[in-house]
Every structure is written in structure tokens, then in C-alpha cells.
Amino acid sequence: MRGDLGAAEGPAGVAVSAPRALWRGLTRRCPACGQGKLFRRWFKLAERCPRCGLILEREEGAFLGSLAINYGLTGVTTITFVIVMMVRTLPDPSIFTITAGAIALTLLVPLLFYPFAKTLWAAIDLLMHRRRRAS
């Protein structure tokens, strides 16, 4: 690997730029090689990439990064919804509607974004641990 901070090395030794790895993560692909089909089901991530062998969750507790990403997105989405609804319905905001919408978002956003958070965290992990190998 070259000394640049903008790239990471995948298991095959091929350098991957940070924007490319992050984009691949956001699109539920392997951050190292771009392979799709990393999920057996919506909530079941493969242990390794089927193409390049990248370990997608390196160790126990590796899911905490994706949990933080998912939690942050859920919080931002819910707070944005509450603020927009308050502004739109002033001077007489419907507390029931706002609360019901916020609860629905708080339940749905983490479920819908879960696989994206997992692969995005795999990309961030790859960039942080640049010389990680498949074994």
C-alpha cells in the first residue's frame, strides 16, 4: 500500500479510495471489491465477502459502529420530522400526530437502514484498518 491516507487496501492488495469504499458501503456492497449479495436475508450479513474474502465483522463487538450509525441517522431523521411538523402546524401543532410520526420513524428507520449501516461500517472499518487481510 502506498502512504496515502485516502485509500485502503483490500484482501487482494488492491488499493480502494475512501470515497469509493464509502459509496460501496452505502450501496450494500463489499467496500474492498464492490461485490453485492452480502446479505442472505435483510438482517443476515455474510461473514466474508464471497468474491474477495474480506471479513465483514472482524471481531466480537464490531457491530457497535453500525449501531452508532443507525442510531445517529434515526435521531437526525426523527428530530428533523418533529421540527418540520412543528413549524408546519404552528400555531396549533397536533401533538398526537407529531408523536405518532416520531414513534413510527423511530421504529422504521433502524429496520430499513440496518443493512446499509452494516456495510457502511465495514467500509469505515476497512479504511481505519488499512492493512487488514482476509485471514
Question: How is residue 96 written as a grid cell?
Answer: 398526537
Report whether pLDDT(63) > 60.
yes
Report whether pLDDT(104) > 50.
yes
Give the Cα separation of 110 and 120 in Å (integer).
Answer: 14
> What local confidence, expressed as pLDDT, does residue 14 receive?
67
Report whether pLDDT(131) > 60.
no
Query: What average pLDDT does the structure give for the chain?
Result: 87
Q: When comparing pLDDT for 45 and 133, which is higher?
A: 45
Residues 6+ apart with CB under 8 A from 33: 10, 12, 14, 49, 51, 52, 54
Q: When comparing pLDDT for 106 and 53, which is higher?
A: 106
Q: What percent of the chain has pLDDT over 90?
A: 70
Strand bridging mode 44-45 / 15-17 = unpaired
The radius of gyration computed from the CA coordinates of the chain, to the nearest angstrom, equals: 18
Which amino acid is it at 135? Answer: S
Report whether pLDDT(134) > 60.
no
Give the Cα separation of 105 and 93 in Å (integer).
Answer: 18
